[in-house]
Amino acid sequence: MPQQLLPFLLVVAVLTVTPGPDWAIVLRNGVRGGSSAAWWTGLGCCAGIALHATAAVLGLSAVLAASTTAYTVLKVAGALYLVYLGARALWLSRRAPAPVSAMPETAPVGRIQAFRHGVLNNLLNPKIALLFLTLLPQFVAANEPRVQTSAVLALTFLATAVAWWRAFSLLVGVLGRGLARDRVRVALDRLTGCVLVGLGVRVALERA
């Protein structure tokens, strides 16, 4: 077990619950598809985290960090994807809202689509790759094997993310009736749409 596992877990917990692009897209899909859509979007985010973590452990993220071109391409792609999702949410909010009696299962966001949203949203965020690249080494003691310890820390990060998105999706389920109300759903669609567009613009303007 890593010597600095506890402080690492505390840092990861704060990073996981801090609102960001993943949080916005999970909330958006949860509003439109209920607990199931939120959960599958969260699982997609976790799949992206797993790939980023694997790349960091294997040292592939160092290539991204060293290549300005690769970083810029990934950053622009991620920014455009966030703006697209936000603009789509704003466009859908202009339509006549569905009846309150409509159940989450009939909502337009299905499991596969929700999972894909989560994966792409996470993979196209170069900050996640750099986060693993810079965060993991700080919690590996000098007398510990680098690869094995980094792998354990990465798994800890992933497990924390899974637990958080499961709890978040259950909360969406509890609040499902309120979120399904016409005015609430439209307001949240517009809010998350504006947040996603804003995050996309911020990502595009950020420097490496």
Q: How far apart are CA 37 and CA 29, in angstroms?
A: 6
Residues of the chain below pLDDT 50: 96-107
pLDDT number for residue 184:
63
pLDDT number for residue 54:
86
pLDDT number for residue 60:
66
Type and span of the H or E element at 70: helix 68-92
CA-to-CA dists, residue 14 to 3, 7, 134, 164, 206, angstroms: 20, 11, 16, 11, 22
Q: What share of the chain is helix, strand, coil (3-state, %, to 5)?
A: 80, 0, 20
pLDDT number for residue 42:
95
Q: Domain map of the chain by residue range?
A: 5-14+21-205
pLDDT number for residue 143:
85
pLDDT number for residue 115:
96
Q: How far apart are CA 77 and CA 130, in angstroms?
A: 16
pLDDT number for residue 150:
84
